[in-house]
Amino acid sequence: MGIIGHIGRYFLLLKDTFSRPERASIYWRRTVEEMDLLGLKSLGIVALLSFFMGAVITIQTKTNIDSPLIQAWVVGFATRQSTILEFSPTIIALILAGKVGSNIAAEIGSMRVKEQIDALDIMGVNSAGYLILPKILASMLINPFLVMVSMFLSIFGGYIAGTATGIVGATDYLQGIQTGFIPYHVTYALIKTVVFAFIIATVSAYQGYYTRGGTREVGISSTQAVVYSNVVILIVNYALTQILLI
């Protein structure tokens, strides 16, 4: 199947996914379960990455702009801007595409090869809606929370790294993260996060849902889910940045 065929089948799957649910209460319960599975269980890795990401940004910024003409608070400013505008929404989305996307593709792909999706279809359950919709909703609801935590920990990581190594003083860093703050940048980051969450859930679910064969093909679907999610995220990231920031 060519790329146009895949895109067409992806949108047809979305149409089935968003058709009327059989029992809204069951879908909502599944959404809450998925928020725990896809979101809260990713909190540890997101926290760890974000803390060290912020620490590295601070040290690299300082070592690259070490000039008497540039004020010390700029390090905090640059760390905050890099974190809010790009690192937290995009890097965390790429990490989640690897962790959550492969999980979604493997789970749905295994259900396909074990005929569990056929079992749902024969019962009269809208298998696409039942399996995919809660994952989309859960990702779109929980990922902004993860990114907010990431932003905080990244900026905090920068503070710890800056003050512990002595390359930037606490007062200068705190002044920097408050200077020229534009609240819209957080809105921009959260819009990107929600769009990326939708991409991760749907592209990965598409790969899993159309798995054919056995366990080898489940592995291939899982890998493709990560690769395609990342590619789509990077392209959409550019488009959103141009639309929302220029």
Find the binding residues for other proteins in span 184-223 (CB under 8 A): none
Q: How many residues does the structure list for the chain?
A: 246
C-beta closer to other proteins: residue 5 or 183: 5
Q: How far is the CB of 118 from other proteins (least distance, A)?
A: 6
Q: Which of the 8 DSSP states describes residue 41? A: G
Q: 183-209 and 215-245 helices cross at what angle (nearest 10)?
A: 150
Tokens of 130: 């039942």
Residue 32 in contact with other proteins, rule: CB under 8 A: no
Which of 44, 68, 124, 183 is the binder for other proteins (CB under 8 A)? 124
Rounded Cα distance between 20 and 217, Å, is 30
Residue 5 in contact with other proteins, rule: CB under 8 A: no
C-beta closer to other proteins: residue 171 or 215: 215
- Burial of 23: CB neighbours in 10 Å, binned 0-12, 13-18, 19+: exposed
Find the binding residues for other proteins in span 125-184 (CB under 8 A): 125
Which of 40, 48, 119, 235 is the binder for other proteins (CB under 8 A)? 119
Residue 121 in contact with other proteins, rule: CB under 8 A: yes
Residue 41 in contact with other proteins, rule: CB under 8 A: no
Rounded Cα distance between 111 and 73, Å, is 53
- Burial of 227: CB neighbours in 10 Å, binned 0-12, 13-18, 19+: middle
Which amino acid makes up residue 30? Answer: R
Residue 36 in contact with other proteins, rule: CB under 8 A: no
- How many residues touch other proteins under the rule CB under 8 A: the total is 13
C-beta closer to other proteins: residue 114 or 170: 114
Tokens of 113: 């090869």
Residue 23 in contact with other proteins, rule: CB under 8 A: yes
Rounded Cα distance between 121 and 16, Å, is 12
Residue 114 in contact with other proteins, rule: CB under 8 A: yes
The residue ranges that bind other proteins (CB under 8 A) are 22-23, 26, 114-116, 118-119, 121-125
